[in-house]
A and B are shown apart, each in its own frame.
Chain A
Amino acid sequence: MELKGKKVIALGERDGVQSVAISKCVQSAGAKVVLEVTHCFV
């Protein structure tokens, strides 16, 4: 698997991992975040 140069869709969830955290991680791996969403089902 490779993230460098990839476009990432970050789908977070309030009770799991929020998309902001996912974005920070994948950006540190060289990916570009093109969509960042955190869902809440409460």
Chain B
Amino acid sequence: MVDTEGAENIVVVLGTPTPDSTKLYAQTVIEGDPSWAGILAGVAMHLPTYHILESEVKSLVDPKVYEETIGASEFALDGESICQAVREVRETNGVTA
């Protein structure tokens, strides 16, 4: 898909529940599988990756839709730590949408 569509047209949006899982997903689609266990081992796709809880994403979404679909998760998850985790991976690799 990345080969045919081009990485510049694709954005990955995560719904991961912890900072660790967020970092793992982000590293996988940006740098390649860090565990070297799957087919994306060594495959750096450099896809811009964000978490649905990040303010950059929230600000673009219809507020009513966001409240209906994400509202409860905002309170249940550690949004600050999760957002920091994905931001670090993006900044380390210089990847933005």
Contact = CB atoms under 8 A, between A and B. Distances in A.
Say whether A and B bind each other. yes
* B interface residue count range (under 10 / 10 to 19 / 20 to 34 / 35 or more): 20 to 34
B42 interface: no
Contacts of B5: 7, 34
B96 A9 contact: no
The B interface, classified by DSSP as helix, strand, loop or mixed, is: mixed
Interface string B65-93: 11011100100010000000000000000
A10 B1 CA distance: 14
B11 A21 contact: no
B12 interface: yes
Interface of A: 1-4, 6-13, 15-22, 24-26, 28-29, 31, 34-35, 38
